[in-house]
Amino acid sequence: MIKAKILVVGPCESGKSVISNFLADATETSGGEYHPTQGVRILEFESNSNQIGARSSAEVELWDCSGDQKFDECWPAIMKDANGVVIVYNPDVPTHERELDMWYSHFVVQQALRETNCLIMGHVKPSAKNLTVQMPSSMSKVQHVQTNLEEDAEGVRRDFNSFLAKLLSSMSRKQDQEELSIIQ
């Protein structure tokens, strides 16, 4: 069984924990109040072939990372052995759009991950306006989706599972190539 480590990163109050809890089918009883993540939370779940369209199941670790840059000294340890990155931002907050390039550069480019190993989620909160954000040119090849759990929860899950299927397929091909190189 393949094991995937996916980091969920982005600015403070963008909805990273809400999305992580939803994707991992975790429940959190916070009463709707904002509670910033301290450092990182790791949520584990198994994704089966019916969900992701792959031939086998996978163990998934979602690393829900704090958006507070006071934890940036922990980021190298958090990034170790990461297979993918989900960047979450709130398009209703203008500063989040400006921060996207920093999150992408630090967690994807500097870690030499491919664009296909990254998903950008513009998480729209229930009371927010649906805004369109112009992605920086450096991220033009990265899949970007708008998410709204109240209006289209299954669409969010479908977009994530599509990303996960591509990531697992890439990981499987890489593993097969490594095994072939050992045999030769």
CATH value at residue 66: 3.40.50.300
Domain extent, residue 30, equals 2-183
More confident residue, 16 or 57: 16
Number of domains in the chain: 1
> Which stretch of 27-41, 54-68, 106-120, 166-180 has the lowest confidence by average pLDDT?
27-41
71-110 per-position pLDDT tens digit: 989 999 999 999 999 999 999 888 888 889 999 999 999 9
Question: What is residue 132's predicted lDDT score, i.e. its pLDDT?
Answer: 63
Task: Calculate the alpha carbon distances from 73 to 54, 79, 118, 169 in Å.
Answer: 36, 11, 22, 32
DSSP alpha helix (H) spans, the chain = 16-23, 49-52, 75-79, 94-104, 149-183
21-56 per-position pLDDT tens digit: 999 998 764 556 778 888 899 999 998 755 555 556
Contacts of 122 (CB under 8 A, 6+ apart): 89, 90, 91, 131, 133, 144, 145, 146, 147
Please name every residue paired with 64 in a beta bridge, in sequence order, or none if there are none: 8, 41
- pTM (two decimals): 0.87
Mean pLDDT, rounded, for 124-153: 80
Residue with tokens 């992580």: 20
If you ran DSSP here, which 8-state letter would residue 109 be given? I
